[in-house]
Structure 1
């Protein structure tokens, strides 16, 4: 389970890094303008990027240091992330559509930091698509954790990797595989992966 959570956290961090790169390239090189909506959208995006990138980093650290994993916190964080990043993608597309200067042909670009409009559109499109992909990743992450949380009354039993997949009450253990069954079984041959998955560190 921890390996799967770490995989999702890594994907989310990578997508957040791409979004932040596009955000810096576009909004640091293109004037914000006096419009209140433009500034609000910019600061909202900046706050969202920062908060969820930091949350993802700390979640990864918690998983890697064998800290306790709260399924409820995982669900809440990823559901909120899904909704906010869908909203973010729509805001970016709306901003690109409504920015009249985006469609004005410009032969000369004033200022050394001014981006050509074709480049501006490219970064806006990349940022919007990546935000939507990140939202889908958050949704998949939340769906898997919700499935684990709701499918088993005993959460500890849900993470049991024993061969017996049933208990006296009729609950069935959920097996979550890291990059598929073949990769999971290969990694389980190593002691470090067993410790990482179980959350139990051997005493030397």
Structure 2
């Protein structure tokens, strides 16, 4: 019959090995900005001097990204976008509007664009100063959105971006903010 010491020796070695593994320091957690390189930019808020670092603002959150214009047939979608913002903000969704004149329908003056967004439609979600959203002059954020999906063909193109910075759904302008397919994509990303 084997001795008790011989039977417990392998068990002691196994316990020591597991303690040694547990004592190793855990690898450092990835920084939120490393996880979402598409948002590794700074942009100025619409009609403001405030510059926002996008990475800390959006890292770890699902984001609805929309290119906007204040004089477009789809401008009324601001109301629905604000409703989405109000409905899902407490669940972690961020809505980000990026003003653009790439389709020649943005106000010439940022003050006028801000009036349309903030006064006419009561927008409280993030709105940024005009940038290019398509073509060779597109901002790197929109180049990445296009790489993962497609570039916007018109104003109010909508991208649902998951917590890891992946485009999980994209919708053309004609898809209204209250469309079931858009809400479903947002709810999956939450």
TM, length-normalised to structure 2: 0.23
Which has the bigger relative contact order, CA under 8 A and spacing at least 6? Answer: 1
* Higher share in helix: 1
* Higher share in strand: 2
TM, length-normalised to structure 1: 0.22
Task: Find the structure with the greater CA-based Rg.
Answer: 2
